[in-house]
Amino acid sequence: MSALATPTDPASDGSAQLPAAVVKSRREALRRLPGKAKVGAAILGVFILIAIIGPAIAPYDPSATTPGQALPTAPSTHHLLGTTATGQDVLSQLLAGTRSTVVLGLLTGLIATGLAVVIGTSAGFLGGVPDEGLSLLANVFLVLPALPLLVVILGYLPHSGELPTAIVLSVLGWPWGARVIRAQTLSLRGRDFVAAARECGESTWRIIFFEILPNEIGLIAASFVGTVLYAILTSVALAFLGVADLSSWSYGTMLYWAQNGNAVQLSAWWWYAPPGICVALLGMSLVLLNFGLDELGNPRLRAGATRRIGRRTWRPSDPTPVLRGGDS
Amino acid sequence: MWFITRRLAFYAVAAWVAITVNFAIPRVMPGNAVDAMLAKFPNLDANSLHALQAEFGTHAHGSLVSQYFSYLGDLAHGNLGLSVNQYPANVTTVIAQTLPWTVILVGVATIISFALGTLLGIVCAWRRGGWLDRFLPAFTFLQATPYFFLALIVIELFAVSWGLFPFGQGYSLGTSPGWTWSFISSAAYHSFLPALTIVLTSMAGWMLQMRNVMITTIAEDYVLVAQAKGLSPGRVMFTYAARNAILPNLAGFALSLGFVVAGALVMEIVFSYPGIGLTLYNAVTSDDFPLLQGIFLVISLTVLAACLVADIVYFLADPRTRTRTAY
């Protein structure tokens, strides 16, 4: 985060101790983080916490059924979020299922962003034939219809766990980030500090990873957040279609079983609503985080830029305000 | 001209990749069309088995290379084979029956979503900090909601609880497809809920992008000049600021039209709408490889065609692309 707001000075790279003023300004930058980003980070933090401790604090075994039960029961003090038609505790499923969804999202984000960074920076920096080839590859992957392809591929991968799913999602999800990173690298390549580094005899890979990459942290973070969102929404949709390991718990499989058990027709909102709302909250936290990153990079985008001048409201689209009277 | 040549070369390569991936799918996946037929009709005798193998082209003798070329030859003649699920029917016929449903419904929904989202985005940026702008995070909540979840809630409210709209199927049972008023009104009535959910989930994206680009445009000097000239705010907003800010949105719109065919998979399954997405899903679950291949090919090629059109429109609309080499 702090690297976003403090411009990376190539000269200070590698200095072991940071002066007190730099540390202070970094703390200052963190405090100035847009409110949306703070809210997003807080919600995301809660979900990550649940992903870590959720299965341990679940009150029941999420798969334990009550023999003889045929209808879902509404929330009560025993089951805070009610039960499914077979008597499984919805809250326990939710607590246990968070881990799988969050892990899959973050894993895909890491793999796909890693691919995007390597391919995007190489294509942008090397130019020429490698650039043409890699751009073509990215564009081909962009136009392949992802969801039908995923259904076809994952439908035939036996017992697809988190890692195979994450890999397939990454392979289809990297080009969006790679395109943006490539464009940014293209514009950074011509800057003076890169020319200086080249004159100093630094190797190509050192220039890419130590000179160019630190200046793209904001972009990479935004692309990571976007990819995590894509992975979560897609994996939930896939599980809902039954293209996932249905014996494990995640938000997607919860929704799949709720749909299979006719939760909507039975009006058992406590069964189908919690996982959906959790996905929406998780997704919203990521969108807000991305909003914040956007605003950090482009302060003009911040809302609330209207100012009251005298009795008039000034909007950024209005001409520069001039005070009447002229006592200045 | 160089730009167009390059793009055409790209589309040729992309189409080739799509066709080849399509060729590879049934050969990599376990099971084949004849096995699926056998599962459907368990008591077939040996003769009909051989006949089926010949018909579906499985157990083909030649090498993979010769299979590949005969596959290309079949494609060139528009021969996509026979569907397993709806046995004697041609894959092309099945696709031709289901494609219009998807294209009309999702196409109209995408256009509405784009128009509404862009308009709201313009207003959002123009009245930045106003009530609409402050509501933006609420719209992102809709965007982050899984599509099918919103669809389930809409069905629960409008179809199950209040009974305002029907759900499931594309038209009422009493009517038969044709250019009659009763059929068209029935189809429109049935498509209201699916269209509503598509618009609700996709609008926020258009809105956000339009707002962000528009805010940058508003700060340009020519907007200030237009205002200083005393032009009406509406004119400055639409013909000066929005007109220049709409290009990225327009490019995205053309692209999304290509995904109209592909993007509605989940919608059609939730609403059991008789479109191509539902057909694809049924083909996957019942190992109907010829149909699967055919639909996949149609989807990939439509996306490519839409991208090509998007490129050309963009090329004509924005003179700057004609000199820019990087894409």
ipTM exceeding the 0.85 mark: no
CA dihedral over B84, B90, B92, B95, signed as positive or negative:
negative
Residues of A in contact with B161 (CB under 8 A): 267
Residues of B in contact with A44 (CB under 8 A): none
Q: Calculate mean pLDDT across residues A148-156.
A: 73
Residues of B in contact with A104 (CB under 8 A): none
Interfacial A residues in 122-141 facing B (CB < 8 Å): 135-136, 139-140
Predicted confidence (pLDDT) at residue A7 exceeds the cutoff of 50: no
Confidence class for position A11, pLDDT limits 50, 70, 90: very low
Residues found in chain A: 328
User: Chain B contact for A197, CB < 8 A?
Assistant: no
A317 and B259: CB-CB below 8 Å?
no
With contact defined as beta carbons under 8 Å apart, do A290 and A140 qualify? Answer: no
Q: Calculate mean pLDDT across residues B190-219.
A: 82
Q: Calculate mean pLDDT across residues B283-305.
A: 79
Of A213-217, B48-52, B205-209, the one with minimum mean pLDDT is: B48-52
Q: How many helices (H) and strands (E) does chain A have?
A: 12, 2
Q: Which two tokens stand for residue B207?
A: 């809105």
Of A197-201, A269-273, A306-310, the one with minimum mean pLDDT is: A306-310
Whole-prediction pTM: 0.76
A145 and B228: CB-CB below 8 Å?
no
| CA neighbor of B204 nearest in space, from B93, B284, B124 | B124
Question: A103-298: which CATH topology?
Answer: MetI-like fold (1.10.3720)
Q: How buried is B57 (Cβ within 10 angstroms: 0-12 exposed, 13-18 middle, 19+ buried)? A: middle
Residues found in chain B: 327
Q: Which residues contact B4 (CB under 8 A, 6 or more apart)?
A: B311, B312, B315
With contact defined as beta carbons under 8 Å apart, do A93 and A249 qualify? Answer: yes
B130 and A139: CB-CB below 8 Å?
no
Q: Which of A265, A312, A317, A322 to mutate to test the interface with B (most CBs of B within 10 A)?
A: A317
Q: Give span(s): CATH 1.10.3720.10, chain B.
A: 92-318
Q: Which chain A residue has the Cα nearest residue B160?
A: A265
Buried b (16+ CB within 10 A) or exposed e, A134-170: bbbbbbbbbbbbbbbbbbbbbbbeeebebeebbbbbb
Where are chain A's structural domains? Answer: 103-298
What is the residue type of A145?
P
Could you tell me the CATH superfamily of domain B92-318? MetI-like (1.10.3720.10)
A148 and B155: CB-CB below 8 Å?
no
A237 and B143: CB-CB below 8 Å?
no
Residues of A in contact with B137 (CB under 8 A): 36, 284, 288, 291
Residues of A in contact with B144 (CB under 8 A): 229, 233, 279-284, 286-287
Residues B126-172 pLDDT 10s: 887 777 777 777 777 777 787 778 888 888 787 777 766 766 666 66
Give the DSSP H or E segment for A309.
Answer: strand A307-309
Q: Calculate mean pLDDT across residues B35-46.
A: 62
Predicted confidence (pLDDT) at residue B89 exceeds the cutoff of 60: yes
- SS3 string of chain B? CHHHHHHHHHHHHHHHHHHHHHHHHHHHCCCCHHHHHHHHCCCCCHHHHHHHHHHHCCCCCCCHHHHHHHHHHHHHCCCCCECCCCCCCEHHHHHHHHHHHHHHHHHHHHHHHHHHHHHHHHHHHHCCCCHHHHCHHHHHHHHHCCHHHHHHHHHHHHHHHCCCCCCCCCCCCCCCCCCCHHHHHHHHHHHHHHHHHHHHHHHHHHHHHHHHHHHHHHCCHHHHHHHHCCCCHHHHHHHHHHHHHCHHHHHHHHHHHHCCCCCCHHHHHHCCCCCHHHHHHHHHHCCCHHHHHHHHHHHHHHHHHHHHHHHHHHHHHCHHHHCCCCC
Q: Which of A136, A143, A265 to mutate to test the interface with B (most CBs of B within 10 A)?
A: A143
A143 and B29: CB-CB below 8 Å?
no
